[in-house]
């Protein structure tokens, strides 16, 4: 009986020891089906432009079955890396803190070319241009893009950037390189250089030496002339001004056809114009006119600050940026108070179709002249006008001038006495 008890005890301890050794062996030698955290996923996050740029200030999340496993940041060159990744299948979801940008009238023009089946957009450029995300690109996408460029709309319903979301299956302790591309919605030509905040190769030359003299508190019209002989399909202008010096009341255009919109915000004027039909322009005729009211607090000889931002651009056929276009912007000054000399200039009728009567009250007898200029300062008509002390009048013909806005000036001995705007209808 004692022998049986001892034998049973030995068998029990032998059984327990066997189980312990078996479990220890499993712990040291895991099943081949257990995930091994020894894989690496790495690559670049690129902006899908004509020259891919690494996207800094961006993050990528590694997702498995709806759960975020890890999130990493890109470096200054757009490189990223996930280490110690277990065997499995994952989706990579990028995002960025880079501000939206790189979009202007050129992109709207390219969307219209796609719509009329002239130059179809494909791949990621198609996705970027479909700002309504309905599978089509048409004039609505083009207009929405132009509105966002000028600032009439602050966002797209679909967001600011599109990113690829690749699915990656990895196992066996491997290193897998996965490059990912993204693009700003609206950037049809992929030309955003986010490090500079604008489009690639955006350059434009400035010309024009005309000076416009106005009085403080006066309603004024500022012409913007564009010289282009290649043909233009898209114009994107960004102008800076001082709201303390003048209030912008409107912006108009004399360009025929196309889609024209503008917006004024704080100290910035943005203008967008695009058309599938190219046009040519001359700096002698204003392409756009800025209408404003000067502050009554301005002083004599003070310069009015108005400048064109370097991000402005002009594009021609297929969105190619113009290399020989120039924009003329006059210098604007507040005239000396003594220039008026208490005299009064009146024009009747105004607007005028054919002839108009110029009436001027002079405080003294003097020889003078009448000059008619366009808004860019070019003299189109000049005729002698001998002024007597008191009221003077003269009839001039506007028959040979095209419809538009002009400046009539009274001069005496190389000094401008007074000026007034006239409209030829």
What topology does CATH give the domain 205-335? Immunoglobulin-like (2.60.40)
Among 263, 244, 5, 255, smallest CA distance to 154 is for: 263
What topology does CATH give the domain 338-424? Immunoglobulin-like (2.60.40)
- For CATH 2.60.40.1930, list the domain ranges present in the chain: 338-424
Q: Are strands 88-96 and 58-64 parallel, antiparallel or unpaired?
A: antiparallel
Peptide bond into 387 cis (omega under 30): no
Per-residue tokens: 59: 């993050």
Give the distance, in angstroms, between the CA of residue 386 and the centroid of all CA atoms in the same chain. Answer: 52
| Contacts of residue 26, Cβ cutoff 8 Å, sequence gap at least 6 | none
Distance CA 304, CA 277 (A): 35
Distance CA 187, CA 198 (A): 11
Identify how many contiguous H helices and E strands the chain contains and give both numbers: 4, 31
Instruction: Give the residue ranges of DSSP H helices in 1-104.
Output: 2-28
- pTM for the whole structure: 0.75
Q: Which CATH class is domain 39-99+163-184?
A: mainly beta
Q: Residues 268, 307: contact at Cβ < 8 Å?
A: no
Per-residue pLDDT of the chain (425 residues; tens, 9 = 90+): 333 333 333 333 333 334 334 444 333 334 444 455 799 999 999 999 888 999 999 999 999 999 999 999 999 999 999 999 999 999 999 999 999 999 999 999 999 999 999 999 999 999 999 999 999 999 999 999 999 999 999 999 999 999 999 999 999 999 999 999 999 999 999 999 886 555 655 467 776 657 787 888 888 888 898 988 789 999 999 999 999 999 999 999 989 899 999 999 989 999 999 999 999 988 778 899 999 999 989 988 889 988 888 889 999 999 998 877 888 888 888 876 434 444 468 888 888 888 898 888 776 788 889 999 988 888 988 888 888 877 788 898 888 888 888 899 888 877 888 888 888 88
Distance CA 390, CA 364 (A): 7
Per-residue tokens: 359: 């009436």
Instruction: Give the residue ranges of DSSP H helices in 35-185.
Output: 105-115, 123-129, 139-150
Instruction: Supply the DSSP symbol for 322.
Output: P
Distance CA 282, CA 373 (A): 16
Per-residue tokens: 113: 């070319």
- For CATH 2.60.40.10, list the domain ranges present in the chain: 39-99+163-184
Distance CA 421, CA 425 (A): 13
Distance CA 103, CA 99 (A): 12
């Amino acid at each position: 009986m004692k022998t049986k008890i001892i034998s049973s005890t030995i068998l029990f301890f032998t059984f327990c020891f066997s189980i312990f050794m078996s479990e220890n062996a499993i712990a040291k030698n895991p099943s081949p089906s257990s995930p091994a955290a020894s894989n690496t996923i790495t690559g670049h996050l690129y902006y899908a432009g004509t020259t891919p740029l690494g996207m800094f200030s961006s993050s990528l999340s590694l997702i498995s079955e709806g759960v975020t496993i890890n999130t990493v940041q890109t470096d200054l060159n757009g490189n990223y890396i996930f280490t110690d990744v277990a065997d499995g299948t994952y989706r990579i979801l990028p995002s960025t803190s880079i501000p939206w940008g790189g979009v202007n009238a050129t992109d709207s023009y390219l969307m219209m070319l796609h719509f009329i089946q002239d130059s179809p957009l494909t791949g990621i450029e198609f996705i970027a241009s479909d700002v309504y995300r309905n599978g089509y690109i048409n004039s609505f996408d083009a207009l929405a893009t132009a509105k966002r460029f000028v600032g009439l709309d602050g966002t797209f319903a679909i967001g600011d950037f599109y990113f690829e979301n690749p699915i990656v299956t990895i196992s066996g302790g491997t290193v897998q390189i996965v490059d990912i591309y993204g693009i700003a919605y609206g950037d049809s030509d992929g030309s955003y250089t986010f490090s500079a905040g604008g489009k690639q190769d955006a350059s434009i030359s400035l010309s024009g030496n005309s000076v416009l003299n106005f009085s403080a508190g006066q309603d004024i019209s500022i012409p913007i002339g564009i010289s282009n002989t290649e043909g233009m399909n898209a114009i994107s202008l960004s102008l800076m001004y001082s709201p303390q010096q003048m209030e912008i009341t409107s912006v108009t255009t004399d360009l025929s056809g196309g889609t024209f919109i503008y917006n004024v915000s704080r100290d910035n004027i943005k203008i967008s114009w695009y058309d599938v039909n190219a046009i040519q322009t001359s700096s002698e005729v204003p392409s756009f006119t800025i209408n404003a009211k000067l502050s009554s607090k301005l002083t004599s000889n003070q310069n009015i600050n108005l400048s064109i931002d370097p991000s402005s651009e002009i594009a021609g056929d297929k969105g190619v940026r113009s290399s020989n276009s120039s924009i003329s912007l006059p210098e604007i000054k507040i005239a000396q108070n003594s220039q008026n000399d208490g005299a009064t200039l009146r024009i009747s009728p105004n607007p005028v179709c054919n002839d108009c009567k110029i009436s001027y009250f002079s405080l003294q007898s003097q020889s003078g002249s009448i000059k008619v200029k366009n808004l860019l300062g070019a003299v189109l008509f000049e005729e002698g006008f001998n002024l007597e002390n008191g009221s003077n009048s003269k009839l001039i013909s506007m028959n040979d001038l095209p419809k538009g806005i002009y400046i009539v000036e009274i001069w005496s001995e190389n000094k401008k006495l007074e000026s007034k705007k006239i409209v030829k209808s």
